[in-house]
Amino acid sequence: MVSEFSDAPEAETAALALKILVAGGFGAGKTTLVGAVSEIRPLRTEELLSEAGQCVDDTDGVDQKVTTTVAMDFGRITIRSGLSLYLFGTPGQDRFWFLWDELSQGALGAVVLADTRRLEDCFPAVDYFEHRRIPFVVAVNCFAGARAYGAHDVSRALDLDRGTPVVLCDARDRDSGKEVLIRLVEYAGRMHTARLLDSVS
Amino acid sequence: MTEDRTDVEQRPGSQWYDHEAGPLVRPYAMTGGRTRPGPAGVRFDLIALVSLEAGAPDVDDPTSLGPEHRALLDLCRIETQSVAELAAGTDLPVGVVRVLVGDLLELGHVRVSRPVPPAQLPDERILREVIAGLRAL
């Protein structure tokens, strides 16, 4: 995407931003989770669809000349001065899928929020990240009134690749959200190391 | 800007946007109809960080900067901002902000740091720092 970008050599101290996506079906709690852990009120940005559609390959069935906008919620966590984490809620509707390609470019990883009452809603997100080999964790949002399932049941029901973490969470709760992110960052680190070793051998 | 205007109806006043721009999109009036940043053709990531360039040219020069450019600079003056934050802060679509930030970069008002390429993404030290930082929240 920006590989041809040539500017002055970047200083060692250049600010660093990492991107984490929050995906899942409609109403699974994406914006809630972003809001719970973000230090800023979740912000909303709009993307013009006609413009976004130009840079991706898989826009079959998407009219590239549509000029409506799609909103994305995002939040920020500052780890320290010069190192921050940005969380982007992915647009839920299928017709905005091509936006995911841009969002996932360079992403550290993703959280797929699952609602056990509508587990099938998160299948597309699971497929998406598995195919692109983007590290993700499944966070089961434990809605009140939903039947409790164990992480193992969810893992089996989603037919997850071995090792993909499943975390039970409450998307409204800051500590719970933090825990989900920690699990994701740990897992992303393990995946990355494993790939480095693969490429060496 | 491309010269491909074959599909564009040649009415007076319609020439400033081209085939690539698709149908007329009002927000791009703020960019003079440009949908991509300057000659470099850079597409800034949503989390590309924009900060004020030390020793930037005088912003009071009224010829080069529009009100939206100034609004972006004002936000960057407070603290380094991501492209996404700038879009939310100015209530402009991301595509428009990308073009305007491209202008500011070319004019030497800002510097833009790219996110780390995915291949070298999780430096172990950084990830540990992130995990510790999250725990400490």
Q: Report chain A residues whose CB lies below 8 A from the CB of B87.
A: 45-46
Whether residue B18 sits in one domain with residue B75: no
Q: Is the CB of A108 less than 8 angstroms away from the CB of B121?
A: yes
Report how far apart, in Å, the C-alpha atoms of A100 and of each of A24, A107, B41, B127 are: 12, 11, 21, 23
User: Which two structure tokens, joined as six digits, stand for B120?
Assistant: 């070298």
Whether residue B108 sits in one domain with residue B46: yes
Half-sphere exposure (Cβ direction) of A76: Cα atoms closer than 13 Å: 22
Whether residue B28 sits in one domain with residue B67: no
Q: Is the CB of B126 less than 8 angstroms away from the CB of A16?
A: yes
Mutate to test the interface with A, among B7, B36, B45 (most CBs of A within 10 A): B45
Kindly state whether A194 is in contact with chain B, defined as any CB-CB distance less than 8 angstroms. no
pLDDT in tens, chain B (137 residues): 444 444 445 555 545 545 554 444 566 777 877 777 766 667 788 899 999 998 777 666 666 788 999 999 999 999 999 999 999 999 888 888 999 999 999 889 999 987 666 555 667 888 999 999 999 98
Whether residue B41 sits in one domain with residue B95: yes
Whether residue B18 sits in one domain with residue B44: no
Q: Is the CB of B137 less than 8 angstroms away from the CB of A7?
A: no
Q: Report chain B residues whose CB lies below 8 A from the CB of A50.
A: 22-23, 25
Q: Is the CB of A45 less than 8 angstroms away from the CB of B84?
A: yes
User: Which two structure tokens, joined as six digits, stand for B129?
Assistant: 């720092």
Q: Report chain B residues whose CB lies below 8 A from the CB of A174.
A: 137
- Name residues 111-130 of chain B within 8 A of A (Cβ): 111-118, 121-122, 124, 126-127, 129-130
- Name residues 109-168 of chain A within 8 A of B (Cβ): none
Whether residue B40 sits in one domain with residue B27: no
Whether residue B61 sits in one domain with residue B98: yes
**Can you spell out the DSSP letters for A65-77?**
T---EEEEEEEEE
- Among the partner-chain residues B45, B85, B88, the one whose CB lies closest to the CB of A2 is B45
Whether residue B81 sits in one domain with residue B27: no
Q: Is the CB of A83 less than 8 angstroms away from the CB of B46?
A: no
User: Which helix (H) or strand (E) covers residue A19, if one does?
Assistant: strand A16-24
The whole-angstrom distance between B62's CA and the closest CA on chain A is 26
Give the model's pLDDT for residue B2. Answer: 44
Q: Is the CB of B130 less than 8 angstroms away from the CB of A185?
A: yes
Q: Report chain A residues whose CB lies below 8 A from the CB of B25.
A: 48, 50-51, 67
Cβ pair A100, A129 in contact under 8 A = no
Give the model's pLDDT for residue A2. Answer: 40
Give the model's pLDDT for residue B116. Answer: 63
Q: What is the ipTM of this complex?
A: 0.78
Terminal-to-terminal C-alpha distance of chain A: 29
Q: Is the CB of B46 less than 8 angstroms away from the CB of A86?
A: yes
User: Which helix (H) or strand (E) covers residue B68, if one does?
Assistant: helix B67-78
Whether residue B56 sits in one domain with residue B10: no
User: Which two structure tokens, joined as six digits, stand for B114?
Assistant: 């790219």
> Consecutive 10-residue runs of chain A (201 residues): their mean pLDDT?
40 74 88 92 71 42 46 89 91 70 88 91 92 94 79 92 94 95 95 82 74
Whether residue B68 sits in one domain with residue B24: no
Whether residue B123 sits in one domain with residue B58: yes
Amino acid, res. B38: G
Which CATH number, 3.40.50.300, 3.40.50.2000, 3.40.1350.10, 3.40.50.150, labels domain A16-200? 3.40.50.300
| Residues B80, B58: Cα–Cα separation, whole Å | 19
Domain that holds residue B91: 36-136
How many structural domains compose chain B?
2
Whether residue B122 sits in one domain with residue B84: yes
Q: Is the CB of A19 less than 8 angstroms away from the CB of B115?
A: yes
**Which one, of B40, B24, B47, B111, lies nearest residue B73 by Cα?**
B111
Q: Is the CB of A106 less than 8 angstroms away from the CB of B85?
A: no
Give the model's pLDDT for residue A57. Answer: 37
